[in-house]
Amino acid sequence: MYKSIIRPFLFKFDPEEVHYFTFNLLKKFGFLTKLFFPKPIEDKRLEREVFGLKFRNPVGLAAGFDKDAKMFSELSDLGFGFIEIGTLTPKPQEGNPKKRLFRLKEDSAIINRMGFNNGGVDAAVERLKKNKNVLIGGNIGKNKVTSNEEAVNDYIICFEKLFPYVDYFVVNVSSPNTPNLRALQEKEPLTKLLSELQELNSQREKQKPILLKIAPDLTDEQLLDIIDIVNDTKIAGVIATNTTLSREGLVSENKVETGGLSGKPLTKRSTEVIRFLSEKSGKSFPIIGVGGIYSAEDALEKLEAGASLIQLYTGFIYEGPQLIHDINKKLLQTIK
């Protein structure tokens, strides 16, 4: 029903406007989703224990969909094993000027240049205080007005405020939509940033896993640096990958838009990065695989490449909640 009726209707409207429209519908009529979508699969065999946390299944929702922690409960009810909120910044910010979100239907993709639009970490914390049992990741970044030299302070603010209310953290230095942010992926500033967060983490009675989200556009040499940084700072793992700046092979007229590209064109590259990190690191840290997952087969490919968990975003928009069900069903079929 989603692909035949619901998606064609939603795709008639501006993608950002329809995003918020869908949020409002889910908030008011979420109880009706069971009439249109398959019942989430609950099976102990799907549980995964990764970086000390127990996930009810390995299929999560990637950051960017529920930036402000407004819908984590309703989205969890669709069958996700975990929800990653954000990217959150210390101060509220509007992000980049609209129009800033574009569908590339011929390519089964999306381009966004949102620019970390969010209501600020304090507002999200108030909503997270009401969380009962959803496993939450907190994706954190810096405000646009904060220089790279002062960026660590923004990450620390978000870390401190979110610490009691999220289960793991994701350090986002790989979005292409905040000026100069990706420069923080360089070895020296990234090591400094992660080391400071780990120092704060070590002072807590119970530490929280810290993960690094990386771009798919890194070279092999840069990926080897990432492995060194993860091992040196002893963070919990990596999320591979964020959106890409590549436009190779696209046919949609929206390919000319600036911003990060997500969706099917990223499927192969994100899997390559996962496999490279897994093999070259000797599987020394867990990887959450994200990028171009549109089918159960896509998900299995990333898990077989070395991912411990996976996340959906653009594939969820194109395929709907059925995709979560299909992946978990396929996983159960592979269990001997």
Q: How far is residue 49's CA from residue 149's CA, in Å, rounded to a whole number?
A: 36
Q: What residues have CB less than 8 Å from 80, skipping those under 6 apart? A: 57, 59, 60, 61, 312, 324
CA end-to-end distance (rounded Å), the chain: 32
The mean-pLDDT minimum among 25-29, 148-152, 270-274 falls in 25-29
pLDDT confidence bin for 38, thresholds 50/70/90 = confident
Whether the CB-CB separation of 40 and 79 falls below 8 Å is answered with yes
Q: What residues have CB less than 8 Å from 270, skipping those under 6 apart? A: 216, 240, 241, 289, 290, 291, 292, 302
Closest CA to 78 of 88, 65, 97, 95: 65
| Token pair for 31 | 């109880």
pLDDT confidence bin for 30, thresholds 50/70/90 = confident
Rounded to the nearest 10°, the torsion over CA 74, 78, 83, 86 is: -60
Whether the CB-CB separation of 127 and 53 falls below 8 Å is answered with no
Q: How far is residue 291's CA from residue 269's CA, in Å, rounded to a whole number?
A: 8
Domain that holds residue 318: 2-334
pLDDT confidence bin for 278, thresholds 50/70/90 = very high
Starting from the edge strand earliest in sequence, which strands make up the sheet with 109-112, in order? 101-104, 109-112, 260-263
Q: How far is residue 215's CA from residue 238's CA, in Å, rounded to a whole number?
A: 11
Number of folded domains in the chain? 1
Q: How far is residue 122's CA from residue 91's CA, in Å, rounded to a whole number?
A: 8
The amino acid at residue 200 is: L
Give the model's pLDDT for residue 230.
Answer: 97
Provide the phi-psi class of 65: left if phi over 0, else alpha when psi is between -120 and 50, else beta. alpha
Strand, helix or coil at 312? strand
* pLDDT for residue 336 is more than 90: no
* pLDDT for residue 298 is more than 80: yes
Give the model's pLDDT for residue 88.
Answer: 98
Closest CA to 240 of 46, 52, 62: 62
- Supply the CATH number for residue 281's domain: 3.20.20.70
Q: Which of 73, 76, 175, 308 is catalytic?
A: 175
The amino acid at residue 77 is: D
Is residue 175 flagged as an active site residue? yes
Closest CA to 244 of 310, 176, 292, 302: 176
Q: What residues have CB less than 8 Å from 81, skipping those under 6 apart? A: 46, 48, 55, 56, 57, 58, 59, 60, 135, 309
Q: Is the dihedral of CA 86, 190, 150, 161 positive or negative?
A: positive
pLDDT digits (tens, 9 = 90+) for 50-86: 999 999 999 999 999 999 999 999 999 999 999 999 9
